[in-house]
């Protein structure tokens, strides 16, 4: 790469981040929850829809995941771990019910779009775009529509769930105050980041799915459970993490992907909203079974997007470790058993003429 190319690349990255920050400022002025993520996501998607490039190093997304996961890991105190152990039954139950809800939503998607059964179930199971894309390649089905559906649902979750919960909660006047007004120290933040980064490196070497979130979360949780001298990150660090993740989410929606998923778009929109609504209903039911606040249970059962739901729980200052634990239990049930879940759905689809 020549010096001219390097300068052009650096200028492009600077412009993308500048635009994302401007949109984030507007979202913060409008008092949106997760304003920097929503603003960056909207800016990035707008740029891609004009068929312009968004070339950001993939390491920025990975760094954003490490920062958010490390921040979430702070909540895994010994007291929080005791509460989680008492609710392991509802966690497993929620994961299993969500799989069957995904079956129903996938059946609706087939009826609406005539999608192939493997494509439909991979688009409907709550997992990340990356994990679903890997499974699509293994099963030799088109990746584009599946990534589109998974990312669309995450965006719906980010756009709908946090603002609705904050609005219905009625006690939060400033949605980012809890993230902004934290006591922190340089040494405490550096120790937290070191453990989070170390955990993500180990998780990646072990070949774990989503290593930069799960590994960093594990590293930070170990710190918190051992009561090591760690502190939260300053607000500016979490702003950067939100921007990194928001740009990545929005950049998925380019014209090419929309063209390939043209007949899939309307069905994906309807089924994504259906899945979000059904999982929210499951959260309300679990509220009565567990005695936990409804806001916590709705976030805990949201179909995917553990990073964004954990950030919302942090804003609510309630149930952060519990929300994260529900999502992790579901991840560790769905991903290892995904081939079996898919094969069962294919049999179901054939039996019922789907």
Instruction: Give the separation between CA 182 and CA 52, rounded to whole angstroms.
Output: 38
pLDDT of residue 165: 76
DSSP 34: S
Cβ–Cβ under 8 Å, residues 39 and 25? yes
Q: How many CB atoms lie within 10 A of CB 243?
A: 25
Instruction: Give the separation between CA 168 and CA 273, rounded to whole angstroms.
Output: 19
pTM exceeding the 0.85 threshold for the entire prediction: no
Cβ–Cβ under 8 Å, residues 190 and 235? no
Nearest CA-CA partner of 186 in 140, 234, 244: 234
Nearest CA-CA partner of 136 in 270, 307, 260, 271: 260
Domains of the chain (ranges; CATH) run 3-351 (1.20.1530)
Cβ–Cβ under 8 Å, residues 311 and 163? no
Paired tokens of 7? 């300068």
pLDDT of residue 246: 85
CA-based diameter of the chain, in Å? 62
Transcribe 281-308 into DSSP letters: HHHHHHHHHH---HHHHHHHHSSS-HHH
Low-confidence ranges of the chain (pLDDT < 50): none
Instruction: Give the separation between CA 80 and CA 221, rounded to whole angstroms.
Output: 11
Listed in sequence order, the DSSP H helices in 35-176 are: 35-49, 58-73, 78-86, 88-113, 117-124, 129-138, 143-169
Transcribe 217-274 into DSSP letters: HHHHHHHHHTT-S--PPPHHHHHHHHHHHHHHHHHT--HHHHHHTGGGHHHHHHHHHH
Three-state secondary structure call for residue 209: coil
Phi/psi at 171 (nearest 5 deg)? -110, 0
pLDDT of residue 3: 81
Instruction: Give the separation between CA 147 and CA 179, rounded to whole angstroms.
Output: 31
Instruction: Give the separation between CA 107 and CA 121, rounded to whole angstroms.
Output: 8
pLDDT of residue 176: 64
Three-state secondary structure call for residue 210: coil
Nearest CA-CA partner of 308 in 93, 190, 156, 133: 156
Instruction: Give the separation between CA 181 and CA 183, rounded to whole angstroms.
Output: 7
pLDDT of residue 156: 82
pLDDT of residue 95: 93
Q: What is the pLDDT of residues 244-290, one digit of tens each?
A: 988 887 887 777 766 766 677 888 889 999 999 999 999 999 999 88
């Amino acid at each position: 790469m020549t010096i001219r190319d390097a300068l052009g690349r650096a200028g492009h990255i600077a412009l993308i981040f500048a635009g994302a920050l401007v949109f984030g400022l507007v979202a913060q002025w409008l008092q949106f929850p997760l304003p920097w993520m929503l603003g960056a996501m909207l800016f990035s998607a707008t740029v891609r829809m004009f068929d312009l490039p968004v070339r950001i190093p993939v390491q920025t997304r990975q760094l954003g995941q490490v920062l958010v996961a490390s921040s979430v890991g702070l909540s895994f105190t010994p007291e929080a771990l005791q509460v989680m152990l008492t609710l392991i039954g509802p966690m497993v139950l929620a994961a299993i019910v969500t799989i069957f809800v995904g079956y129903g939503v996938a059946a609706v998607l087939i009826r609406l779009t005539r999608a192939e059964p493997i494509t439909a179930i991979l688009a409907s199971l709550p997992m990340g775009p990356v994990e679903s894309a890997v499974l699509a390649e293994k099963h030799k089905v088109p990746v584009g529509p599946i990534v589109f559906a998974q990312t669309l649902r995450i965006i719906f979750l980010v756009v709908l769930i946090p603002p609705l919960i904050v609005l219905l909660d009625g006690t939060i006047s400033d949605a980012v105050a809890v993230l902004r007004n934290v006591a922190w120290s340089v040494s405490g933040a550096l120790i937290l980041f070191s453990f989070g980064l170390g955990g993500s490196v180990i998780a990646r070497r072990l070949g774990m799915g989503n290593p930069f979130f799960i590994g960093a979360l594990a590293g930070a949780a170990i710190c918190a459970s051992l009561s090591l001298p760690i502190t939260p990150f300053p607000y500016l660090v979490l702003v950067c993490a939100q921007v990194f993740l928001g740009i990545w989410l929005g950049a998925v929606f380019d014209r090419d992907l929309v063209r390939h998923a043209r007949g899939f778009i309307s069905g994906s929109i309807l089924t994504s909203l259906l899945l979000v609504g059904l999982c929210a209903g499951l959260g309300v039911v679990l509220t009565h079974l567990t005695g936990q606040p409804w806001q916590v249970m709705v976030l805990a059962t949201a179909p995917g997007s553990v990073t964004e739901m954990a950030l919302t729980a942090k804003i609510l200052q309630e149930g952060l470790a519990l929300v994260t634990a529900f999502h992790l239990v579901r991840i560790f049930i769905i991903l290892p058993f995904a081939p079996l879940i898919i094969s069962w759905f294919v049999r179901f689809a054939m039996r019922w003429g789907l």
